[in-house]
Structure 1
Amino acid sequence: MNWSISFIPFVPWPVLWIVAAVGAVLIALLFWRARRGAAMRLLAFAALLLALANPHLKQEDREPLNDIVTVVVDDSQSQTLAGRTKRTEEIRKALEARLKEVPKLDVRVVHSNSSSADNERDGTMLFTDLGEALADVPPDRLAGVVMITDGQVHDVPEKAAALGFDAPVHALLTGKKDEFDRRLEVTAAPRFGIVGSTQTVEVKVTESKPREDDIATLTITHQGKGPVTKTVRVGDPVEIDVPIDHAGPNIVEIEVNKAPGELTQINNRTLLTVEGVRENLRVLLVSGEPHAGERTWRNMLKSDASVDLVHFTILRPPEKQDGTPINQLSLIAFPTRELFQEKLDQFDLIIFDRYQRRGVLPLLYLENVARYVERGGAVLVSSGDDYASPLSLYRTPLGEILPAAPSGRVVEKPYRPTLSELGEKHPVTGDLAGAHGGGPDGKEPTWGRWFRVVDVSPRDAEVLMNGADGKPLLVIGERGKGRVALLLSDHAWLWARGYDGGGPYSDLLRRLAHWLMKEPELEEETLKASSKGQSLIVERRSVKDKIDPVTVTTPSGEEMTVTLDKGERGLWRKTLQVSEQGVYRVASGKLAGLATVGKANTREFSAVTASDKSLAPILEETGGGAFWMGRAEGEGGDLPRLAMIRSGHVLHGTDWLGLHKRDAYHVKGVRLFPLFSGFLALALLLGLLAMAWYREGR
């Protein structure tokens, strides 16, 4: 039960203050002129004001409320280093036990993680999670906040006013003061690069305690190729050349060697992805004669703005001599020497469309094309009955690299192209639209019919599509460093015209061209990893019936073996739920891949040594302190004593931390007793006025 005096004025407080001010001025004049009765008038006026203020004696029935202390536990990834996880748990348990011994004190524990479901969080956000936890806590009940952390906090407010409460914030630091760490920092990196060019990445090796003339070794791995080492000086920026080999992601991993006494190697490596963009795809199309499919080839290639097309059509073979001067046979002479000798290596893809040996291209130039493939070039041959003739390209030096030998026969009958067993799994043809629907068994393609296929015998090659009577229709192969493909029918244009329902003409030829140019997404044996939120997705594409397990290496260096689930058309997949953010490695045999969960170069590992610098300003402003709990290896510091203090700005000492004693309460009931109202107040007021008039009348 509590007693106090409360005022319930009959008029608004501003009016009451105005009346008091006017009265004070008038009474002051009476005292200045030394009028009799001035003192009595002052008392009468004071009684009038007191009556208008209507004082009451208030009786409250109060129920005391417990104070609240919030313990924020840092569960970020940097807390997993150097035994901090175990130390943090020990400190939390000891602190909770000691806080529960304090009477009338409630303890709330908040766990703060550096990762989130959407991976948008980057770093340790203790104050963000603290604000959410205190949303339902009245500020007048909060006794204080104790954070168990390594001190690397990335959302420290600039001013204590932003906290929304007036209570001390203390920090129990789980690390040691003398920790040392080396890390790799990316200072400049391009996001895009033209295929074939070289981009420059700038990195720097830094240390928490710089040492004079300190040398480090960088190991650079590009797209899984053999590592390259480079010696650098700690603290100096270093430029690294990154070749952009292909379109799409070009991944570069850079790692610095471990330093003696280093806290962790988890931030000694970084992963960079430079998106390769093709400036233009240079294609040379040579048509041996005009035919219905020639325009289809040209239209498809010209419709792509990223393709620079050079197209020549042999309108009349040399054997048709009628005396017409050579300068009247064409508007532009066929620059065979320039194209097939001087600038051959500048083309990304060479297509021979129904071309046969007729003396237009000397055999020496076709031999140049064969060497062009061996050195890494790409050739696509789209043939008809010309490939089965004695003048076939196979009977030239180019035949050494072609993936199939003609028998001399041509099968002419209606058929629907089908996928071979290998083609069902190969990325070029496996998921072409319409490849797996229609027909009595539900598997026959819905594509339109073709009417011709050349009979061949594949040699050191792979058959992806079959034609009439199961004859090979699309054959691919690798020759040296390059690749070659052979389409054994000149009726693909029927799909482009929509005959009999048409077919995926553009998709097929586009994928075939990209496979010839070694685009990674069209390789038949691939291993890659990707992420979505806190899920790591591992995918393995293979034309084999069985694959080896995949080894997954986490950012902290732990390894686990994963068996992938078999899917359709040569695709194997597994989704893993992971907790760490950073770079994950996947490997299976000679195949390897990298993926990042969250951010590859997260702030969480930009600095991992324990420190009180970031928290120091907010601790000082709120009156809290920092206490180092990590001493010798495996030994924790003593937990500071707890003290409940009613007032004061500095609420900590060398071995104690203070919490505000709030004395908060809940009012259960109120009773009011008037003190100056009714006849008593009226009698006192009239008596004072009468005394004033009496004094003035003498």
Structure 2
Amino acid sequence: MNLDVAFSPLIPLWALLALAAAGAVVAALCVLGRTRGAWLRAGAIACLLLALANPSFTREDREPLTNILPVVVDRSGSQTLDQRKAQTDEVREQLEARLQGLKNTEVRWIEAGQDGTASDGTELFAALRNGLADVPPERVSGAIFVTDGVIHDVPPGARDLGFAAPVHGLITGRPDERDRRVALTLAPRFGIVGQTQTVGFKVEETGAGLGRPVPIVVRRDGEEIERIEALPGQSTTIDVPVSHPGVNYIELEAEDAGQEITTVNNRAVVPIDGVREKLRVLLVSGEPHAGERTWRNLLKADASVDLVHFTILRPPEKQDGTPINELSLIAFPTRELFSQKINEFDLIIFDRYARQGILPIVYFDNIARYVRDGGAVLVAGGPDYSEPGSLYETPLANVLPAEPMGGVVERPFKAELSAVGKKHPVTRGLPGSEQNPPAWAPWFRMVDSRLREGEAVMQGPDERPLLVLAREEKGRVALLLSDHAWLWARGFDGGGPHVDLLRRLSHWLMKEPDLEEEALRAKATGKTITLERQTLKDEAAPVTVTLPGGTVRDVQLTQAEPGLWRGTLETPELGLHRASDGTFSTLVNVGPPNPREFTEVASTDKRLASLATATGGSTRRVEPEPGAELAVPRIVPVSAGARAFGADWIGVREADASVVRGIGILPVFAGILGLLLLVGAFAATWAREGR
């Protein structure tokens, strides 16, 4: 029970203060003038002022509240290393037994990082705040942390805790642990395909017997590309080539130091997104025709394409007597394009081009060699492909996948996907292809030809090849055997998916990874890995996934759509995963490339020490010596301000928190008592002055 005095003035406070000042002046004059009954008069004035102040006695009936003691148990990834998990379990068991005898205390057990793979590191204090969200600060008697000391959200000071009570740390792990880790100092996010990027790193070591140069293996997409040595503690840089568009995974792996607590952090991963420079495309139109601008408009609309377009308006055989110096046409720079700078182009397109004496035969040899060395050629042919002067009558025929039969089919027909075309990423799922026949406008002309190699992904009447795709050594060739694709672009009879088709076709030729017909891909969403096998075959082999820790999982794939097989894997680990089906392999990273949780894993009491000292708490290892029994301290209640730790004990503050159950109020100058006090004071003054 608490007893207090409260005031509830009957008049405004300023008026009460004014009367008090006036009364003090009157009382002082009476006392200084030695007036008879001066002190009695002063007492009467004081009683009157007290009556106006309306004092009352307040009694509170309070019920004490229990103390709240949070115990935060670290279950993060680093706690799974060595014997830490067993130590943590044993410490918790002993603490449960010792805390049962702590009176007037409610123990809250808070498990932090139960999945063991926190992507942002070990955040024990965030878990502590969540666990105490409904608890007033004055009820918290302290906090005990069972952890390896690798904590990434330790508050900078005691004021940031949110309560005033001692913090204690019970540190798991061994004091003599060895660890070697690779820390990145320069990790670029993007790189130009075909160029190099600089990656910086530093080898850091903990433990005795280290300090010698460390062998480092550098890998790109799982394949070793270099071996170097690095001195511990010194920054090292290397230049790595960016070989392809999309993510290039650069791995830096340090040699095992021997007897390390873990080798997970011996490897660092740098994902570099490969970005192409402007794709250079050479478009050669053999003559003006209705569909000439279809290719030009499509390629010019693509911001990633740098287009060079030539149209043959005046072939050599066209002689009309106009003097050369009066022509505004420029000469076709054949030597520069097809001899000196041919390898600068990513794609060469011949649109209705026939041999007209413009290109010497030797240049067609150059083009065929350009394809075999990794270039790409697209021939969009019309009647010119089957007539005398066809490109098939040049050395380029050695890489062209279809042979003209000498005729042209001229009747309405609808282009259809072949069995292979329904699986190929260039044509699979084209809008309207799900219907039979496809909901596309008809074409009216195509070249009659015979498939020589490659795959016919689209076909015309009587299953004649219409669009043929082929690989020639390192390069690629596509042959479109109709010049009526422009009808789709003009919207004739509803049009067709010309943008999707022609864009996919050109990007397949330029080796866009997403359009590969045989590929294994993997992507991660959270901890779910989705595997995709693109293939033209009728089945897909199981995929073997190797987790960062070395565990191997097999994933069966099921057909999601023609040519595309999928499977999923729930992984318990963060880091770089390797997937392979025996033919293709790929990498996928789950979570951040280098999880903060495993950057530094050696147990330490330093991170928590300053905060524990500032709150009056302590940190201590539960295994003082290797192999010794765990030293779990006793829990002792202490008063506020008292020392909170000793050699074999730690203290928790006795919180002085309570809740009000009842209130009693007794006014002093109310009723008969107040009236008697006032009348008595003034009566005594009158009686003394009347003598």
Q: What TM-score do the two structures reach when normalised by structure 1?
A: 0.89
Q: Is the 8 A contact 2:528 2:570 kept in 1?
A: yes
Which residue of structure 2 lines up, in the alignment, with residue 79 of structure 1? 79
Which residue of structure 2 lines up, in the alignment, with residue 642 of structure 1? 635
Q: Is the 8 A contact 1:383 1:487 kept in 2?
A: yes
Q: Choose the corresponding residue for 2:507, options 506, 510, 514.
A: 514
Shift of the alpha carbon at 1:607? 1.7
Which residue of structure 2 lines up, in the alignment, with residue 7 of structure 1? 6
Which residue of structure 2 lines up, in the alignment, with residue 196 of structure 1? 194
Instruction: Give the 5 Å matches for 1:169-184.
Output: 169-184=167-182
Deviations 1:516-542 (A, max 9, x none): 121211112222222233433222222
Which residue of structure 1 lines up, in the alignment, with residue 265 of structure 2? 267
Which residue of structure 2 lines up, in the alignment, with residue 145 of structure 1? 143
* Secondary structure of 1:146's aligned partner: strand
CA pair 662-306 structure 1, distance change in 2 beyond 3 A: closer
Q: Choose the corresponding residue for 1:282, options 271, 280, 283.
A: 280
Shift of the alpha carbon at 1:344? 0.8
Q: Give the distance between the partners of 2:114 and 2:20, measured in 1 at CA.
A: 61
Q: Is the 8 A contact 1:60 1:670 kept in 2?
A: yes
Amino acid at match of 2:101: E
Which residue of structure 2 lines up, in the alignment, with residue 624 of structure 1? 617
Instruction: Give the 5 Å matches for 1:66-215.
Output: 66-113=66-113, 122-209=120-207, 213-215=211-213
* Secondary structure of 1:609's aligned partner: coil
Q: Give the distance between the partners of 1:13 and 1:609, measured in 2 at CA.
A: 68
Which residue of structure 2 lines up, in the alignment, with residue 584 of structure 1? 577
Which residue of structure 1 lines up, in the alignment, with residue 439 of structure 2? 446
Instruction: Give the 5 Å matches for 1:241-640.
Output: 241-320=239-318, 331-437=329-435, 439=436, 444-631=437-624, 637-640=630-633
Q: Which moved more, 1:596-605 or 1:23-32?
A: 23-32
Q: Give the distance between the partners of 2:294 and 2:229, measured in 1 at CA.
A: 55
Q: Is the 8 A contact 1:190 1:200 kept in 2?
A: yes
Aligned length: 690
* Secondary structure of 1:143's aligned partner: coil
Q: Give the distance between the partners of 2:47 and 2:345, measured in 1 at CA.
A: 107
Deviations 1:486-511 (A, max 9, x none): 11222212211222222222222221
CA pair 393-575 structure 1, distance change in 2 beyond 3 A: same
CA pair 589-634 structure 1, distance change in 2 beyond 3 A: farther
Q: Is the 8 A contact 1:202 1:238 kept in 2?
A: yes
* Secondary structure of 1:658's aligned partner: strand
Amino acid at match of 1:235: G
Q: Is the 8 A contact 2:178 2:208 kept in 1?
A: no
Unmatched segments (≥5 aa) in structure 2:
none
Q: Is the 8 A contact 1:114 1:125 kept in 2?
A: no
Q: Give the distance between the partners of 2:21 and 2:547, measured in 1 at CA.
A: 77
Q: Which moved more, 1:263-272 or 1:625-634?
A: 625-634
CA pair 516-62 structure 1, distance change in 2 beyond 3 A: same
Q: Give the distance between the partners of 1:9 and 1:47, measured in 2 at CA.
A: 15
CA pair 692-585 structure 1, distance change in 2 beyond 3 A: farther
Q: Which moved more, 1:271-280 or 1:428-437?
A: 271-280
Shift of the alpha carbon at 1:682? 4.7
Which residue of structure 1 lines up, in the alignment, with residue 645 of structure 2? 652
Q: Is the 8 A contact 1:414 1:468 kept in 2?
A: no
Q: Is the 8 A contact 2:77 2:116 kept in 1?
A: no
Q: Which moved more, 1:321-330 or 1:307-316?
A: 321-330
Shift of the alpha carbon at 1:47? 5.7
Amino acid at match of 1:345: N
CA pair 224-582 structure 1, distance change in 2 beyond 3 A: closer
Q: Give the distance between the partners of 1:77 and 1:429, measured in 2 at CA.
A: 46
Q: Give the distance between the partners of 1:11 and 1:131, measured in 2 at CA.
A: 46
Q: Which moved more, 1:484-493 or 1:608-617?
A: 608-617
Shift of the alpha carbon at 1:327? 5.6
CA pair 543-83 structure 1, distance change in 2 beyond 3 A: farther
Task: Report the identity percentage.
Answer: 52
Deviations 1:322-351 (A, max 9, x none): 666566666211111111111111111111
Q: Give the distance between the partners of 2:116 and 2:527, measured in 1 at CA.
A: 8
Q: Give the distance between the partners of 1:636 and 1:525, measured in 2 at CA.
A: 59
CA pair 667-309 structure 1, distance change in 2 beyond 3 A: closer
Amino acid at match of 2:166: P
Q: Give the distance between the partners of 2:43 and 2:345, measured in 1 at CA.
A: 110
Shift of the alpha carbon at 1:424? 1.1
Deviations 1:67-108 (A, max 9, x none): 111122222222222232333233223323322232222121
Q: Give the distance between the partners of 2:633 and 2:96, measured in 1 at CA.
A: 13
CA pair 532-41 structure 1, distance change in 2 beyond 3 A: farther
CA pair 634-500 structure 1, distance change in 2 beyond 3 A: farther
Q: Which moved more, 1:534-543 or 1:619-628?
A: 534-543
Q: Which moved more, 1:688-697 or 1:610-619?
A: 688-697
Q: Is the 8 A contact 1:434 1:447 kept in 2?
A: yes
Q: Give the distance between the partners of 1:641 and 1:170, measured in 2 at CA.
A: 12
Q: What TM-score do the two structures reach when normalised by structure 2?
A: 0.90
Q: Give the distance between the partners of 2:333 and 2:195, measured in 1 at CA.
A: 28
Deviations 1:402-433 (A, max 9, x none): 22233333333322111122211111111222
Shift of the alpha carbon at 1:573? 2.3
Q: Which moved more, 1:506-515 or 1:627-636?
A: 627-636
Shift of the alpha carbon at 1:9? 4.0
Deviations 1:625-646 (A, max 9, x none): 1121245567662211001112
CA pair 37-192 structure 1, distance change in 2 beyond 3 A: same
Q: Is the 8 A contact 1:453 1:471 kept in 2?
A: no
Q: Is the 8 A contact 2:222 2:587 kept in 1?
A: no
CA pair 460-689 structure 1, distance change in 2 beyond 3 A: same
Amino acid at match of 2:72: V
Q: Give the distance between the partners of 2:260 and 2:170, measured in 1 at CA.
A: 23
CA pair 258-362 structure 1, distance change in 2 beyond 3 A: same
* Secondary structure of 2:561's aligned partner: coil
Q: Is the 8 A contact 2:535 2:564 kept in 1?
A: yes
CA pair 34-398 structure 1, distance change in 2 beyond 3 A: farther
Shift of the alpha carbon at 1:377? 0.9
* Secondary structure of 2:607's aligned partner: coil
Q: CA RMSD in A?
A: 3.2
Q: Which moved more, 1:15-24 or 1:329-338?
A: 15-24
Q: Give the distance between the partners of 2:228 and 2:583, measured in 1 at CA.
A: 25
CA pair 634-227 structure 1, distance change in 2 beyond 3 A: farther
CA pair 247-144 structure 1, distance change in 2 beyond 3 A: same
Q: Which moved more, 1:477-486 or 1:311-320?
A: 311-320
Unmatched segments (≥5 aa) in structure 1:
none
Q: Is the 8 A contact 2:605 2:621 kept in 1?
A: no
